[in-house]
Structure 1
Amino acid sequence: MARKIADCRKYPSEINCSLTISGEEEEVLRAATEHAVTVHRHEDTPELREQIRELLVDETPAGEPDGMNFVQLIEFKTGKRDQLDELLDEWEEATGGKRTAKRALLTQDHEHPGSYYELVEFPSYEEAMRNSRLPETDALSRKMRDLCDEAPTFHNLDVVRAERL
Structure 2
Amino acid sequence: MTRKVADCRKYPSEMNCTLTISGEEDEVLRAAVDHAVSVHGHEDSDQLRTDIRGLLEDEAPAAGGNGMNFVQLIEFRTKRREELNRLLDEWEDVTGGKRTATRAVLTTDHDQPDSFYEFVEFPSYEDAMRNSALPETDALAQRMRELCEGEPTFHNLDVVRAERL
Structure 1 and Structure 2 fold alike (TM over 0.5)? yes
Q: Are residues 1:159 and 2:148 paired?
A: no
Distance 1:106 1:117 in 2: 6
Residue 155 of structure 1 deviates from its aligned partner by 0.4
Unaligned runs of 5+ residues in structure 1 are 8-18, 45-55
Task: Encode CA deviations 1:18-65: one digit per residue, 9 max, x unaligned.
Answer: x9732489x858844632652xx5544xxxxxxxxxxx9985636733
Residue 163 of structure 1 deviates from its aligned partner by 1.1
Q: Are residues 1:22 and 2:22 paired?
A: yes
Structure 1 partner of 2:129: 129
Counterpart code for 1:105: V
- Shift in alpha-carbon separation, 1:29–1:133, aligned structure 2, 3 A: farther
Counterpart code for 1:100: T
Q: Are residues 1:96 and 2:96 paired?
A: yes
Distance 2:96 2:6 in 1: 16
Residue identity over aligned pairs, in percent, reads 68
Larger Rg over CA atoms: 2
Counterpart code for 2:122: F
Structure 2 partner of 1:70: 70
Structure 2 partner of 1:142: 142
Residue 158 of structure 1 deviates from its aligned partner by 0.6
Q: Are residues 1:105 and 2:84 paired?
A: no
Matched-pair contact (CA < 8 Å) for 1:5–1:23? no
Residue 66 of structure 1 deviates from its aligned partner by 1.2
- Shift in alpha-carbon separation, 1:20–1:70, aligned structure 2, 3 A: closer
Flag as ranges the 4+ runs of structure 1 deviating above 2 A: 27-38, 41-44, 56-65
Structure 2 partner of 1:3: 4
Counterpart code for 1:82: E
Three-state SS of the structure 1 residue aligned to 2:100 is coil
Counterpart code for 2:5: K
Distance 2:85 2:57 in 1: 27
Residue 75 of structure 1 deviates from its aligned partner by 0.2
Three-state SS of the structure 1 residue aligned to 2:112 is coil
Three-state SS of the structure 2 residue aligned to 1:64 is helix
Q: Are residues 1:118 and 2:145 paired?
A: no
Q: TM-score, normalized by length of structure 2?
A: 0.72
Q: TM-score, normalized by length of structure 1?
A: 0.72
Counterpart code for 1:158: D
